Every structure is written in C-alpha cells, then in structure tokens.
C-alpha cells in the first residue's frame, strides 16, 4: 500500500482522525488544546468505536460487537474487533562478558579480578581490579574496558595490548550499577538505576551521576546532579553532550566543560510535568529534538531542546511504539488500534507545526516496528499471541508489503549493516491449531530468518528458546545459544545470513553469553562451568578451541 494524495492541515486540532483512518493522508499538524472533542474510548486508550458494546469472546478476548468498529484486530468471535493486550519489547541483557576487537573480558567477582582472554592465541590474563567487579563494558573500537564494582565506589579503566594491561581507578558515586560509553570512546557515564538493583544491594543516589573522561594518562571523573531517577543516557553524534532521561525530563551535560558539583541543565518534556505518566523518551542523534510517547495519549510530544519549546502533535490514536529513523530527522510511530503508521518529520529549527505522513497498514495487525540502520525501511510486527504476520514498510514511498509467518513473534533483531532480520518466536496457539503439523510448530520454540529485499522467510525450529544471539558482518552470520535443560546436548546454532542455511556446533557445557571478536574473527562463548569455560569458534571454519579453568586459576594469588 502507498500513500495517496496529501491534505495540508494547519493550526487546527484534527480530533476526527481517530474516526477516519480509513484512507491515507499527510498533513502539517499544530499543537492542540486538551479540551478538543474526542471519540469514545470504551476501556481501551486510543481505541475509537462510537456506540459499540464491549463483549467477551469464548477464548476470553474482549471485542466490540458493532460490525463497523474502527479498531484493529479482525476475525474474532462475535464479528467485532478484539481489544489487544499491550505490546512487549524485551530488554537487552546487561553486564554480560564483553568482547573488544581482540579480547574477551569477564568479571571474576570472587577474586576481585578481570579475566582477559586473547581470541587469537587463547592466552589468559588475570587483571587485578577493585572489590567485587560486577559489570564490564568495552570501549567502542578499542581494546579497552570499563569495570564497575559492587564492593567499591570505583570504576576501573583497563587498556590492553598483546604485551599486557594498564589499569586506572577513579572514584564514582556510591553503589553505581549502570554504565554508558559514548560511541567515540572519549566519555562514560555511570549511575545508580534502582530498576537494575538486585536483592540485598545498597541503594545509591536517585539524582546524581558520575561523568568519566577517558584519555590515557589523563583519565578523570566528576559527579553531577540531575533530575529524579536517571534511566537512559544518549550521547550526541558530535560527542559534545550527553542527554540524560529522568522522570523529570532531560538533563543536558556538556561533556568537555562539566565540573564536579554542577547541576545539569534540565528540560521538561511534557505540557503536564506534574502528572505521573509513563513515558518513552527518544532524542535525535544531533541533540536537537526529543520525541515523547505518553501512555494513553493520542499524540506525540516534540521538544526542541535548545529553546525548550514543547509542541503536542495529535495523531488521532494512541501510538503503541516509537522509533527514531537513522540518518534522518524523523521518527516513526505505530498506531496499532487505528491500523496506521505515522512518520513525523523534524525540521532543524523550532516550530509550531510538524509534517506527519500517515500510512494505512491495511489488514495487518502490528503495534511495533524495527527500523533498518540505513533508515530506508521498517519491519512492522506485533507481539500479541496468535497473530502470525509481519510487513515491511518503505519509508520513502510508504509502501507496505505484508507477509505471513508461522509463529507468534516474541522479539525482532535487525541484522547490523544488512537488510535482514531475525524474528524470535515463542510457543503460542495460532490459526489452524487443530491441525497436527500446525500444533507441533505452534508448540515449539524457533526463529525466522527474513530477507527484507525479497520478502523470503525461513522458519527454523529449536528445542529451547535461544539464550543469546550474536551477529558478524564478515562473514555475514548469526549464532544462537541453545542450552539443554537436561544438561546433555548444548548447541551453538550457526546461521549463514546469505543462504539461510544452519549448522549446529556442540559445546561441552551450557552456554551463557556470546561475543564476536572482529579482528580475531572468532565467536567467544562463555559457559556455565565450576572453574570457568570459554569456547572460541572460528567464524569461517567453525573450528572450536576451548579454555577451561580460568576462574580456578584466578583464585590462586
């Protein structure tokens, strides 16, 4: 499907869009007064169905009995539209072993050490750090890592070469448990995130963080006050500033000039800052704009960070997902209940009006999107159980191409620098579940490989849910860790992303994490083992080499 003729709308509040999303429009929307009329919601925020009766189907789902209901979700009992549950996007793992171009770094908290293993030679080095190292993260494109500790208010900066390692320790705020490093490798920010705290952990500051400046021989740290409960840090593309998302809004830190004891400049991101509302806040790469999705609001909030100007852009239905479009000043919102995606274009200067392009998804039910890293396409999907369909969206033309798949989607991973995707599935009943083959497929774990250029999909069933997935650009491959709950047959499944062929590589122990070492050309797989085990798989040949006992050796001081 493609965008049809455009309608330019200025300086009015298009509250009627929630009722007339049957065709595609594009417009320039101005901010709206909250007193504008709206359609009835009938329990579901963003759902428009005037005069409909809410009923319950035999399967327990909720639907509108009126046959011309405008909500999404077709073919449900009673002839109405089912109220779909919220979408779910799994969060990435945090604090796992990390891989630099040549080395793998693994924390050994019991011995107060960091284990470094060379991917080419398999040489093991034990690096003394502070008490109870808990989190390690590599500095982008460098053989260097930053370590946080549970037992010390310090960060360790480790720089490695084939000849050895240097360690610099700097003070940080107490009980920090979260770390972000800028892509240029010059700065890091550490803070306490209560959502990541484990039972028994001490509580750190809810309104401060530590900025670490990385310069070999001149490393330094400064602590800065922020808004309440920092949750996310994004660095601007020019490396000049960090944008810290908090419950109160966004704090802007000038990385080169910030001093100890500073209070970071704050920008509100809502017209109702006193309201306790769950928000998703994204910021553009250049640090010009923040785009906000608020739970239950049929609009996006756009903030010009330099001027602090806030504009509410009405959409007519509640967005269920929000993503930035790489290499473009634009954001993509999915309006599942209206069957529409909205592309919001962001100018370079503050404005009261924004161009929004709306594209119908037709019969597709999708509430989530993943945008390709070239900014040209998006994959539309839903995590709702029993819905087996996805679609590609061409962001230039608005063309939507839907395609059936075989299982419910649990998560979608876009392959870096390749127009391919990996869809992770979970066991759920789907259409035609009474058919024995369909039942077998629906009850299994698995994943789908998808080529965004051709639309070709290949389903691969697995005995268990993949524990972790790693990618490599050269050769273009994916690896999925498949630990056996019975502790008999542990597998790393290798998928060639050009041919979509797969091969299983056996492991001696249950796999935990996988990291690809770009320079060494090997996949490092850490495993559950009483004295520590890691296997290196050659990405081209599949030949495996294993190191066992590094943690045992690490305890011998």
Question: Each residue of 343-378: pLDDT tens digit?
Answer: 999 998 999 999 999 999 999 999 999 999 999 999
For residue 441, report the phi and psi dihedrals to the nearest 5 degrees.
-65, -45
Average pLDDT (262-290) is: 93
CA–CA separation, 71 and 511 (whole Å): 44
> In terms of pLDDT, which residue wins out, 62 or 376?
376
Across residues 412-422, what is the average pLDDT? 95
- pLDDT per residue over 307-347, tens digit each? 999 999 999 999 999 999 998 889 999 999 999 999 999 99
* Least confident span in 88-92, 288-292, 399-403: 88-92
DSSP-based helix, strand, coil % in the chain, nearest 5? 5, 45, 50
User: In this predicted model, which residue has the larger pLDDT, 154 or 31?
Assistant: 154
Q: Mean pLDDT throughout 83-103?
A: 75
Query: Does 556 have pLDDT greater than 50?
Result: no
State which H helix or E strand residue 219 sits in.
Answer: none
Instruction: Taking residues 141-161, report their average pLDDT.
Output: 96
What average pLDDT does the chain have? 85
pLDDT category at 552 given cuts 50, 70, 90 is low
Considering only residues 444 and 87, tell me which one the structure prediction assigns the higher pLDDT.
444
CA-based max dimension of the chain: 75
Which tokens belong to 131?
């008490």
pLDDT at 91: 58
DSSP strand pairing (187-191 vs 208-213): antiparallel
The whole-number pLDDT of residue 188 equals 98
- Residue 81: pLDDT band (50, 70, 90) is low
Q: Find the DSSP H helices in 156-232.
A: none
Task: Tell me: pLDDT of 52 over 80.
Answer: no
The pair of structure tokens assigned to 152 is 């010390």
Between 472 and 78, the higher pLDDT residue: 472
Does the pTM exceed 0.85?
A: no
* Residues paired with residue 166 on neighbouring β-strands, in sequence order: 159
In this prediction, residues 172-189 reach a mean pLDDT of 97
Q: Could you give the CA distance from residue 491 to residue 474 in angstroms, rounded to a whole number?
A: 22
């Amino acid at each position: 499907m493609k965008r049809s003729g455009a309608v330019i709308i200025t300086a009015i509040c298009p509250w009627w869009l929630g009722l007339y999303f049957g065709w595609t429009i594009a417009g320039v929307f101005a901010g709206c007064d909250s007193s504008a009329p709206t359609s009835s919601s009938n329990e579901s925020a963003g759902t428009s169905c005037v005069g409909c009766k809410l009923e319950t189907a035999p399967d327990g789902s909720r639907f509108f009995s009126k046959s011309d209901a405008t909500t999404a979700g077709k073919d449900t009992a009673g002839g109405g539209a089912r109220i779909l549950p919220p979408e779910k996007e799994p969060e990435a793992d945090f604090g796992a072993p990390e891989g630099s171009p040549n080395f793998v770094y693994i924390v050994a908290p019991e011995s107060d050490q960091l284990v470094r293993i060379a991917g080419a030679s398999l040489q093991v080095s034990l690096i003394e750090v502070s008490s109870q190292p808990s989190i390690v993260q590599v500095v982008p494109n460098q053989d260097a890592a930053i370590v946080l500790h549970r037992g010390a208010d310090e960060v360790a900066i480790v720089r490695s070469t084939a000849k050895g390692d240097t360690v610099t320790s700097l003070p940080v705020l107490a009980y920090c448990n979260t770390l972000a490093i800028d892509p240029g490798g010059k700065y890091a920010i550490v803070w306490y995130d209560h959502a990541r705290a484990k039972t028994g952990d001490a509580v750190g500051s809810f309104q401060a963080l530590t900025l670490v400046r990385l310069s070999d021989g001149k490393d330094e740290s400064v602590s800065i006050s922020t808004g309440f409960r920092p949750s996310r840090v994004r660095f601007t593309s020019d490396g000049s500033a960090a944008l810290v998302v908090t419950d109160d809004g966004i704090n802007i830190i000038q990385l080169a000039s910030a001093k100890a004891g500073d209070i970071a400049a704050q920008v509100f991101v809502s017209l109702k800052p006193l309201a306790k509302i769950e928000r998703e806040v994204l910021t553009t790469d250049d640090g010009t704009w923040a785009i906000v999705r608020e739970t239950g609001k049929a609009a996006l909030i756009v903030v010009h960070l330099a001027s602090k100007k806030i504009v509410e852009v009405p959409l007519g239905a509640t967005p269920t997902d929000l993503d930035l479009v790489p290499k473009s000043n634009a954001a993509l919102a999915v309006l599942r209940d209206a069957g529409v995606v909205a592309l919001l274009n962001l100018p370079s200067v503050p404005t009261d009006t924004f161009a929004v392009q709306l594209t119908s998804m037709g019969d597709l039910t999708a509430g989530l999107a993943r945008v390709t890293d070239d900014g040209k396409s998006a994959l539309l999907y839903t995590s709702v159980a029993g819905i087996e369909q996805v679609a590609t969206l061409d962001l230039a033309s608005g063309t939507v191409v839907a395609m059936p798949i075989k299982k419910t989607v649990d998560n979608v991973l876009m392959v870096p620098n390749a127009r391919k995707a990996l869809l992770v599935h979970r066991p759920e009943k789907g259409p035609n579940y009474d058919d024995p083959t369909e039942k077998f497929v629906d009850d299994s774990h698995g994943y789908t490989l998808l080529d965004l250029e051709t639309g070709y999909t290949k389903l691969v069933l697995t005995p268990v849910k993949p524990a972790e997935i790693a990618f490599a650009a050269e050769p273009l491959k994916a690896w999925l860790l498949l630990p056996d709950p019975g502790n008999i047959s542990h597998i790393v499944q290798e998928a060639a992303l050009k041919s979509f062929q797969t091969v299983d590589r056996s492991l001696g122990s249950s796999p935990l994490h996988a990291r690809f070492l770009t320079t060494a050309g090997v996949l490092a797989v850490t495993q559950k083992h009483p004295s520590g085990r890691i296997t290196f798989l050659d990405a081209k040949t599949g030949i495996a080499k294993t190191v066992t006992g590094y943690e045992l050796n690490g305890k011998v001081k």
